């Protein structure tokens, strides 16, 4: 007889009934080939004694096995594994479980061997992050109040049904008004697709724009996940230098004389990772080149709302009179990262195609959440949140940069950013950021190692140091830990 005492594992604290646990254990033994068709199961009395449960519980487990078609009862003989079951050979998982997909139980192609998944910050208590908002400031209670209110109303039940892949009509209308009022982007709800953040917008646009061997121009330093999206399409990345005035459009113009460029991906406002803002002169020239050479501009405006020293530059989309710009933005980056709401603005036909593609991978967003955000836009709560946060983040930026200037003059070079939620910090060449990151983790501080910002052409010893998610006490504590580690 098999060693059922060790094979049948039960958990008395589990929510699953004991007889179901026993039944599931037997099913596992059968499907693994440990028990074969026509094998006899131990009597209810013996099994009950072996695993320490009531005999009636075992009888219930056997009845469940029989009802599910895994076993059969033969009068005066006992309970047996169903004789009609196909023979299952004992199998072991392959030891060489390579990531290339060639040694798995089935064959597949892994295009992501070079990709490292983003780190989770949900369990960190103190973090100098990439430049994220302070979720403690977000009016989540108000948002949830609207969510509950809508769900309770008679018309709110309709939002639990399938809706448009383009997103809530009300939210698209609210976003259209918001973009017009704050950014000078004149558009209609029909030209807006609500996404799960800017990353989805980048992916959808890239899938529609790019084919293998196409060329897309991107910054020499650039948002890494955007680079990964473009590579996934098979396109070639043409690196364009980025200086203190943003993307070098003159360099792009030289490339356009030699190569056909399908699209240009640009972050003109608070470039990621360096935080620089693109000059008006270069913006106008980029739009002129787009019209002349018929390429699309993917404008990623991930944190327009946070600019401190002057009025933020208007987006390219606001002065695009030829419809070359696909404008991508995010509410997640300015509200709370886990609340996945973003938008993409473009020509009507392009947005319709993007919605069709989105429907293949994500039928639609959370309509109730989108409707709740629409109410928050309409009643001014979003605007109040941005104005309140802007004041707080400016104070935190100033304190953060003051401490860097006072205590890290020999270790870190930086320029106080005009906007955004992070400081682009270049560390002394003798400082090993990987070791710093590891040592900080042991002290209770998360800080990245800078690898996320590197690519085949850009490998400076620098990282973005986010200040917005830390209050004044936490800023002082985090930088004190960092200073001690560097010393």
User: Which sequence spans correspond to the domains of the chain?
Assistant: 4-81, 127-133+384-486, 163-371
- Is residue 330 helix, strand or coil? strand
Sign (positive or negative) of CA dihedral 306, 312, 316, 320: positive
d(CA 486, CA 407): 11
**Which CATH number fits the domain 127-133+384-486, given the four candidates 3.55.40.20, 3.20.20.70, 3.40.50.720, 3.90.1150.10?**
3.90.1150.10
Contact 423, 467 (CB under 8 A): yes
By C-alpha distance, which of 224, 247, 209 is closest to 114? 224
Residue that the structure tokens 């390429």 belong to: 295
Read off the DSSP letter of residue 99: T
Q: How far is CA 454 from CA 24, 221, 458, in A?
A: 49, 8, 5
DSSP per-residue string spanning 341-382: -EEEE--HHHHHHHHHHHHHH-S---HHHHHHHHHHHHTTHH
First-to-last CA distance in the chain? Answer: 65
Series of mean pLDDT values for 10-residue runs along the chain (487 residues): 90 93 94 93 94 94 95 93 87 53 71 73 81 89 86 73 86 94 93 93 97 97 95 96 96 97 96 94 96 97 86 89 94 78 95 95 84 90 90 96 95 94 95 95 93 91 95 96 93
Q: Which string of b and e fits 269-283 if b means at least 16 CB within 10 Å?
A: bbbbbbbbbbbeebb
Contact 383, 458 (CB under 8 A): no
Contact 475, 156 (CB under 8 A): no
Question: pTM of the prediction?
Answer: 0.82
Bond preceding residue 273 cis, omega within 30 of 0: yes
d(CA 421, CA 70): 59
d(CA 362, CA 35): 41
Torsion on CA atoms 147, 153, 158, 159, rounded to nearest 10: -10
By C-alpha distance, which of 444, 198, 227 is closest to 330? 198
Angle (deg, nearest 10), helices 140-152 and 367-378: 120
What per-residue confidence (pLDDT) applies to 334? 77
Q: Are strands 325-330 and 422-427 parallel, antiparallel or unpaired?
A: unpaired
**Top-level class of domain 163-371:** alpha beta
Sign (positive or negative) of CA dihedral 372, 373, 377, 381: positive
What per-residue confidence (pLDDT) applies to 332? 76
Q: Is 114 exposed, middle or buried (0-12, 13-18, 19+ CB in 10 A)?
A: exposed
What per-residue confidence (pLDDT) applies to 328? 97
Is domain 4-81 given the CATH code 3.40.50.1010 in the classification?
Answer: no
d(CA 247, CA 231): 20
Q: Are strands 263-266 and 215-219 parallel, antiparallel or unpaired?
A: parallel
Contact 236, 183 (CB under 8 A): no
H-helix or E-strand spanning residue 222 = none
Contact 321, 167 (CB under 8 A): no
d(CA 27, CA 31): 6
d(CA 67, CA 300): 57
Sign (positive or negative) of CA dihedral 184, 190, 191, 197: positive
- Is residue 474 helix, strand or coil? helix
What per-residue confidence (pLDDT) applies to 122? 63
Read off the DSSP letter of residue 302: T
What per-residue confidence (pLDDT) applies to 413? 96
Bond preceding residue 353 cis, omega within 30 of 0: no
User: Within 10 A of 14 (CB to CB), how many other CB atoms are there?
Assistant: 10
- Give the distance, in angstroms, between the CA of residue 152 and the centroid of all CA atoms in the same chain: 30
The tokens for 254 are 């030289």
The tokens for 315 are 């987006």
Sign (positive or negative) of CA dihedral 58, 59, 60, 64: positive
H-helix or E-strand spanning residue 392 = helix 381-407
Q: How many DSSP H helices and E strands does the chain contain?
A: 15, 16
In DSSP terms, which residues pair with 73 in a beta bridge?
A: 79
d(CA 155, CA 169): 14
d(CA 200, CA 216): 18
By C-alpha distance, which of 88, 92, 108, 90 is closest to 100? 108
Contact 61, 23 (CB under 8 A): yes
What per-residue confidence (pLDDT) applies to 92? 59
């Amino acid at each position: 007889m098999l060693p059922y005492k060790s094979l049948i594992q039960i958990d008395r604290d589990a929510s699953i009934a004991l007889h179901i646990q026993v039944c599931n254990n037997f099913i596992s033994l059968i499907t693994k080939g440990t028990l074969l068709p026509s094998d006899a199961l131990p009597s209810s009395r013996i099994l009950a004694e072996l695993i320490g449960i009531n005999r009636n519980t075992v009888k219930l487990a056997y009845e469940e096995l029989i009802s599910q078609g895994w076993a059969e009862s033969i009068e005066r003989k006992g309970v047996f594994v169903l004789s009609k079951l196909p023979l299952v050979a004992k199998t072991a998982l392959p030891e060489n479980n390579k990531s290339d997909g060639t040694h798995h139980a089935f064959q597949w192609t892994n295009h992501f061997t070079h990709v490292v998944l983003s780190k989770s910050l949900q369990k960190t208590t103190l973090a100098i992050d990439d430049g994220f908002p302070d979720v403690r400031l977000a009016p989540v209670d108000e948002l949830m109040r609207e969510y509950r209110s809508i769900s309770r109303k008679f018309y709110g039940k309709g939002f639990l049904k399938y809706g448009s892949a383009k997103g809530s009509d009300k939210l698209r209308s609210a976003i259209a008004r918001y973009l017009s009022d704050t950014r000078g982007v004149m558009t209609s709800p029909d030209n807006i697709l609500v996404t799960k953040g800017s990353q989805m917008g980048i992916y959808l646009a890239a899938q529609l724009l790019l084919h293998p061997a196409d060329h897309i121009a991107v910054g020499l330093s650039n948002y890494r996940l955007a680079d990964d999206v473009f590579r996934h399409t098979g396109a070639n990345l043409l690196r364009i230098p980025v200086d203190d005035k943003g993307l070098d459009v003159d360099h792009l113009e030289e490339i356009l004389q030699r190569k056909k460029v399908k699209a240009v991906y640009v972050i003109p406002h608070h470039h990621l990772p360096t935080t620089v803002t693109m000059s008006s002169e270069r913006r106008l020239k980029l739009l002129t080149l787009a019209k002349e050479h018929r390429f699309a501009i993917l404008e990623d405006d991930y944190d327009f709302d946070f600019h401190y020293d002057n009025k933020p530059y208007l987006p390219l989309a606001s002065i695009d009179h030829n419809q070359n710009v696909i404008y991508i933005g995010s509410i997640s980056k300015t509200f709370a990262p886990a609340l996945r709401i973003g938008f993409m603005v473009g020509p009507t036909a392009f947005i319709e195609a993007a919605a069709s593609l989105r429907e293949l991978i994500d039928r639609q967003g959370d309509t109730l959440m989108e409707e709740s955000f629409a109410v928050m836009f309409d009643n001014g709560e979003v605007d109040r949140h941005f104005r309140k946060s802007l004041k707080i983040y400016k104070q935190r930026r100033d304190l953060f940069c003051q401490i860097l200037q006072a205590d890290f003059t020999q270790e870190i070079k930086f320029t106080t950013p005009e906007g955004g939620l992070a400081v682009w910090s270049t560390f002394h060449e003798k400082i090993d950021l990987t070791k710093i990151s590891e040592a900080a983790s042991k002290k209770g501080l998360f800080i990245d190692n800078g690898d996320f910002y590197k690519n085949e052409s850009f490998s400076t010893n620098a990282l973005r140091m986010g200040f917005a998610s830390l209050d004044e006490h936490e800023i002082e504590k985090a930088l004190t830990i960092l200073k001690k580690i560097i010393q």
